Amino acid sequence: MIQNKQHSLLNRAKQASNMLKEHIDNNDVIRLVSHNDADGISAAAVLANALKEENAQFHITIIPRLKEDVINKLRSDDSSLFIFTDMGSAYVKELNTFKNDVIIADHHQVDDTESESHLVHINPHIFGIDGSKELSGAGSSYLIARGLDKKHLAYFALIGAFGDMQGQNGFIGMNKMIVEDAKESGVLEIHEGLKIVSKSTQPLFKSLAYTFSPPLPGISGDFEGSQEFLEKIGLSYGIKFTDLEGEEADVLKDELIKVNPDIFDNCYTVPKEIPLLRDLEEYAYILDACGKNKKFGLGLGIALGEREKVLDVAVKLQQEYRDQIVKGLEWAKREGATQLNTIQYLYSEDKVLKSVMGTIASIGLSVDILDNSKPVLGLSRLHKDIKISGRTTRDMVDKGVDLGKALKDCSNNFTGQGGGHDIAAGAMIPLESKDAFLKLVDEMVEHQLTNN
């Protein structure tokens, strides 16, 4: 049964590959439109690298969300083929009206809109495959490149999956197949190791405090907690991990495993890459920092092979971004979430916090700063609107929570828009609708839990 679903998805991707190949052969201009997070940038990178290798003409646009005005502008563009990656599934009806060919390579939730003959829609959900766990937006995009015999680009799909929090407990489903592709092509190596970040660039206490996945309660997002932990086990907190003696590294490993056994697990690396980008999770974090800081071109440039000064800027952004998360977690710990019946929420008008609200919500649940028995909504004011980042746990999803559906349906009631996955979703609503929206989401989540 599972193989049949995967086979059907691969057949749909092959249709897209054939459509793309036709336009490459015709020397047509291809327009790529993608999302601005790590998954979206990786999704664009898979296809951009494939097109570059084929000497094809292409133009890339990276955007935070697909909106009606963006679609209307693109509709008048004379590109022969439009490819929407890590977005587009919620806009099949609108994209059906394009006069030229369209490919959607997404993994967010879908509705029942049928595609016209000139639109190929690739989405795991269409075939009963879970797009929040088994395939990322970059993964859907890779399936197109795969049909062009580009298995050596499979690792970008894994970067996207890590960026979308899909690889934390090992890869499953279509992602597992992509891992096999990457290994088969000779670009990927897997070995056991400590999954802490910035091993060669940051002092140890920062490496540990910046490690959010897997979470280290009392250490992740907490500089003081990290320093206390290292002092307690007799290690200098100013030294870098790569400078530790073998015995010291073993002590650190043993003590961290006591905090969270998942901290010692499979590391996915691309040996041909420069040290900074060798670990795919670290690569995903760098792209995520570029996206969150609106430096989309910077992230894309790195994924397309630019290095040196570009990478220096990205690493600086990454450190600033991580510092913002640490400050945000301190704020969440200090202020606490406002509790409703079945959900909780954080609200801020602070400029720094609004860029990391979703991350704060996600990490806050995993390190027990927030109540992980309730979904959390992170609310940020943007002028006359409110941006919502919803996060919950896999356990709550198993109990019936579907944030993607809740935020989509509730935002529609307030002339807003929303959607995403069952475990992580987003929305945008008018400022004056805030309280009524929260009440409605609370009621809907209660309904989901009682009717599961």
Give the DSSP H/E element, type plus range, for residue 161.
helix 154-163
In the three-class reduction of DSSP (H, G, I as helix; E, B as strand; rest coil), residue 121 is classed as strand
Cα–Cα dist 411/75, whole Å: 26
Tell me which residue has tokens 């400078």. 243
Q: How far is the C-alpha of 147 from the C-alpha of 54, rounded, in Å?
A: 13
The whole-angstrom separation of Cα 202 and Cα 187 is 27
Tell me the pairing of strands 424-430 and 417-420: antiparallel
My answer on whether omega of the bond before 124 falls inside 30° of 0, hence cis, is no
- Name the helix (H) or strand (E) containing 352: helix 351-354
Ramachandran angles phi, psi of 194, nearest 5°? -75, 125
Confidence of residue 352 (pLDDT cuts 50, 70, 90): confident
pLDDT tens-place string over residues 51-99: 999 999 999 999 988 988 899 999 988 899 999 999 999 999 999 999 9
pLDDT at residue 37 in the model: 92
Most confident of 310-319, 341-350, 355-364: 341-350
Q: What are phi and psi of 429, to 5 degrees?
A: -135, 160
Residue 272 structure tokens: 């041909």
pLDDT confidence bin for 1, thresholds 50/70/90: low
Residue 335: what are its φ and ψ, rounded to 5°?
A: -85, -35
Domains of the chain (ranges plus CATH)? 2-188 (3.90.1640.30), 196-303 (no CATH), 340-450 (3.10.310.40)
For 19-58, the pLDDT digits (tens) are 999 999 999 999 999 999 999 999 999 999 999 999 999 9
How many of the other CB atoms lie within 10 Å of CB of 428? 18
Is pLDDT of 355 > 90?
A: no
pTM score of the predicted model:
0.87
**Which pLDDT does position 200 carry in this prediction?**
84
- As beta bridge partners, residue 375 has none
3 state DSSP class of 386:
strand
User: What does the pLDDT average to over 143-149?
Assistant: 97
Quote the percentage of the chain above a pLDDT of 70. Answer: 100
Instruction: Name the band, by pLDDT with cuts 50, 70 and 90, for residue 406.
Output: very high
Task: Give per-residue pLDDT as tens, 190-212.
Answer: 999 999 998 888 999 999 999 99
Per-position b or e across 268-292, b if 16+ CB within 10 A of its CB: bbbeeeeebbbbbbbbbbbbbbbbb
Kindly state the average pLDDT of the residues 118-145: 96
Average pLDDT, the chain: 94
383, exposed or middle or buried, with CB in 10 Å at 0-12, 13-18, 19+?
exposed
